[in-house]
A and B are shown apart, each in its own frame.
Chain A
């Protein structure tokens, strides 16, 4: 167990070191969510006035912030597997797999790195929202829950992306699958729009959408009168799915090794 922890820490540090040595990439990672927040915020500013929109006295920016946090986490995490594909393309993956590095640590390393990224991005989004005039009713525990939701959602989709990378071993396939999944998941949720104004089938789909779970956890946490009965089960489901996906993705190493 300690070996697993040490290896995970070493590999996380490797990824973080690589990231900070690409300042342009860091900048893009931080600017992108700001664009989402300000563009969507401006474009849909008036939707809160639609009768039946559950704004509960919030501005659209305040309503949207949890949505942009979740979308950003999903879009970043969906790319996680590209690191593995690069490692497979050169000799890094082979050398790792032929060394005593634990498979679990290889998975944890990339997921921890993605979670760190998600944490920083979430902080930036909340900061920009405040700067643009958003005021949340219950910053505590709302902001803590927002961070938790963003990190758990990242774990789910980073693990999935890693698994797809190990199973397909192909950059194009990974990008294709990520894109096929990301946008529909974002729009089949309450990230930018109240689903109660959408058709019934869409509301049903949203109930099973992990991205929507993260949005609800964050939005209820920040609300003046949180619907705890909606929040807790979704937080629990996110956590359970995160553990399950990480475990399954680690199993994908075996499938990868069988195929090469």
Chain B
């Protein structure tokens, strides 16, 4: 689902868009024709991508009694101009490290990346002029007002005083902060602070805005409000957005395209719909009364020709089916015949969680997000 009018969400053949591994890009490129027609390139970029990262590797040195951590293990991703690109993965998958490298906060051990046409290693200064960063943690000083924070950020980006003032007023208005503009930010709610952070990230009209876990810690209402703002912003500001999240629904809701990150690599990339339709069939979930009967239940269900990809997880047995809800009575009858007590059973359309399971080999909840 997309809210971005400029984005190519209706690819002619969605099934060919996702790539299962970084190396197996689709043979034809329906993507490149779409991407090229949309917007002139910035700054004489050599690449048609707004973000183009190849084989990024980053290892953090060992601490006392700690193994070195290979945070990124050959991560590659390509982001088109004007799209909202989601980076989805559990904590520790390498999302934030990717953002740190692309925003010049940290340097990769190997690999290369360009952002808005500038190489992050050779020309970090140009990258910094072209980007806005909203990091995971609040980034406005508690003893400054919202307006002061914005104006300072604008001045530092090279705007003159009058322009900085105008731009700050505009952003305060748009993010619903105008009534609180002259209060100290320490009196702001979590949602207000987050909106101010996003406004600060946009103050220089960046070509690329990085949003690192923007809604973590927000209550549902503030989260919905920020979602609406992010969706609107990408079109109003003509900004490319790279968003990291460990919320499946957030990635699904906001991203034009997304990459699933697991153990420092991109394991799947494409539009949410394409990734989901790549999976054959619907998902059956059976919840058992007795957790020890899982293996027996899986064994019985695997004999049914209409079910495949059966996995057991605690008291849950999951499988996939081409027969939609029609599989339910058959499965329940089979289990009853063998005396396996069932607490509940559902059939659902594939979700991003299924996509994740398919590519990372475990469910999203399992890794503990």
Contact = CB atoms under 8 A, between A and B. Distances in A.
A257 interface: yes
B156 A10 contact: yes
Interface stretch (B77-85, B138-146, B291-299): B138-146
A231 to B, nearest CB: 40
Contacts of A22: 143
Given A91-B197, A260-B100, A98 B156 contact: no
B156 A97 contact: no
Interface in A79-127: 89-92, 94-101
Contacts of A18: 141, 143-144
A94 B135 contact: yes
Given A18-B143, A92-B139, A98 B133 contact: yes
A92 B140 CA distance: 6
B106 A260 contact: yes
A17 B143 contact: yes
A17 B133 CA distance: 24
A41 to B, nearest CB: 35
B137 interface: yes
A173 to B, nearest CB: 14
B128 A100 contact: yes
Given A21-B184, A100-B129, A101-B156, A92 B141 contact: yes
A183 interface: no
Contact of B106 (A90, A101, A257): A257
Interface string B120-141: 0000010011010111111111
Contacts of A243: none
B294 to A, nearest CB: 43
Contact of B141 (A6, A14, A101): A14
Interface string B81-125: 000000000000000000010011111000000000000000001
Interface residues of B, number: 33
B200 A95 contact: yes
Nearest to A89: B137
B144 A14 contact: yes
A3 B129 CA distance: 14
Contacts of A260: 100, 105-106
B300 interface: no
Interface string B38-81: 00000000000000000000000100000000000000000000
Interface residues of A, number: 25
A10 B184 CA distance: 18
A253 B141 CA distance: 20
B346 to A, nearest CB: 40
Given A7-B156, A18-B141, A99-B156, A91 B135 contact: yes
B158 interface: yes
A102 to B, nearest CB: 9
B103 to A, nearest CB: 4
Contacts of A89: 137
B153 interface: yes
A90 B137 CA distance: 5
B189 interface: no
Contacts of B197: 91
B103 A100 contact: no
Interface string B130-174: 010111111111011000100011011110000000000000000
A10 B152 contact: yes
A98 B153 contact: no
Contacts of B133: 94-95, 98-99
Contact of B107 (A10, A100, A258): A258
Interface in B323-346: none
A252 to B, nearest CB: 15
A98 B141 contact: no
Interface string A245-260: 0000000000001111
Interface in A1-51: 3, 6-7, 10, 14, 17-18, 21-22
A10 B103 contact: no
Contacts of A101: 156
Given A94-B105, A98-B131, A17 B157 contact: no
A223 B141 CA distance: 45
Given A10-B155, A260-B100, A91 B144 contact: no
Nearest to A10: B155
Given A7-B156, A91-B137, A98-B133, A257 B107 contact: yes
B139 A91 contact: yes
Given A95-B139, A260-B105, 9 more contacts: A17-B144, A21-B184, A91-B138, A91-B139, A92-B141, A97-B105, A99-B156, A100-B129, A258-B107
Interface of B: 61, 100, 103-107, 125, 128-129, 131, 133-141, 143-144, 148, 152-153, 155-158, 184, 197, 200-201
Closest 6 CB pairs of A and B: A91-B139, A91-B135, A18-B143, A91-B137, A98-B103, A95-B139
